[in-house]
Amino acid sequence: MILEIADIRIQLGQQAPFEAAIEQATAQVLAQAKGCRGYKVHRSQESPERYILQVVWESLEDHTQGFRQSPAFGQWRALIGPFFASPPTVEHFELVTASP
Amino acid sequence: MILEIADIRIQLGQQAPFEAAIEQATAQVLAQAKGCRGYKVHRSQESPERYILQVVWESLEDHTQGFRQSPAFGQWRALIGPFFASPPTVEHFELVTASP
């Protein structure tokens, strides 16, 4: 299990259409991807054009080789890519500690 | 309910002592704070000096006024602050969408 964290900056004033697009993209595309165990999207209070997407994958390869190299990735990017102000920063994380 | 996300960069090669320190700081200090509903700490695979701390607070004020202005915040920073390579970037987030 690995956690993808994507730091997304969108164009000014595009919150409402971006949120509709990422709700559709996560529910209809991402959720169907092999190895996708769950996802969350949060909006920053201090930076209202900033969003954090978190996706739990069964393995790193399910994201980097499976999803990113599948036709679904084109559908995903077609839905949310037009809102990006810059390329998202994406890294993969392992759990160190958590509350019980 | 609000999600604090802190982006932490530590000094090179300090992973093991930093992880011990933040395990102690979260379990013994953060977990006792009023309004703290839970936390997670993750380490980046691509940037091994990068950690993401996530804390669920009942309200923004529980973090910014309650915890940060309490004596506990001094204990928290005394434990993990010495490892920082730069001041952490901290913002507060609201949920947009999530998997069922």
State the pLDDT at residue B30.
97
Residue B75 C-alpha, separation from nearest chain A C-alpha, in angstroms: 18
State the pLDDT at residue B93.
98
Of A38, A92, A99, the CB nearest to B46: A92
Of B31, B42, B92, the CB nearest to A95: B42
Query: Can you list the alpha helix ranges (DSSP code H) found in A13-70?
Result: 15-28, 60-61
pLDDT digits 0-9 by tens, B23-54: 999 999 999 999 999 999 999 999 999 999 99
State the pLDDT at residue B42.
98
- The burial of A51, by beta-carbon neighbours within 10 Å (0-12 exposed, 13-18 middle, 19 or more buried), is given as buried
Query: Can you list the alpha helix ranges (DSSP code H) found in B29-85?
Result: 60-61, 71-80
Of A38, A51, A99, the CB nearest to B96: A51
State the pLDDT at residue A39.
98
Contact criterion met (CB < 8 Å) for B23 and A99 = no
The average pLDDT across B9-17 equals: 98
State the pLDDT at residue A13.
96
Residue found by looking up tokens 């978190």 in the block: A54
Find, among A18, A15, A11, A31, the residue nearest to A72 by Cα.
A31
Helix A15-28 vs helix A71-80: crossing angle, to nearest 10: 160
Chain A environment of B93 (Cβ under 8 Å): 42-45, 52
Query: How far apart, in Å, are the Cα atoms of A100 and each of A11, B26, B41?
Result: 38, 11, 13
Interchain CB contacts (distance < 8 Å): A and B:
94
Find, among A48, A57, A50, A42, the residue nearest to A91 by Cα.
A57
Helix B71-80 vs helix B15-28: crossing angle, to nearest 10: 160
Residue A29 C-alpha, separation from nearest chain B C-alpha, in angstroms: 12
Q: Can you tell me whether residue A96 is helix, strand or coil?
A: strand
Question: What does DSSP assign to residue B81?
Answer: G
Q: Return the percentage of chain B with pLDDT > 90, whole number.
A: 100
pLDDT digits 0-9 by tens, A20-71: 999 999 999 999 999 999 999 999 999 999 999 999 999 999 999 999 999 9
Find, among A7, A39, A98, A96, the residue nearest to B36 by Cα.
A98
- The yes or no reply on domain B2-93 and CATH 1.20.140.10 is no
Chain A environment of B97 (Cβ under 8 Å): 19, 22-23, 26-27, 40-41
Looking from the CA of B19 toward its CB, the CA atoms found within 13 Å total: 17
State the pLDDT at residue B16.
98
Chain A environment of B43 (Cβ under 8 Å): 93-94, 96
Q: Where are the domains of chain B?
A: 2-93
Provide the CA B8 distance to its chain's centre, in angstroms.
Answer: 8
pLDDT digits 0-9 by tens, B59-85: 999 999 999 999 999 999 999 999 999
Using CA atoms, how far apart are residues B85 and B69, in angstroms rounded to an integer? 23
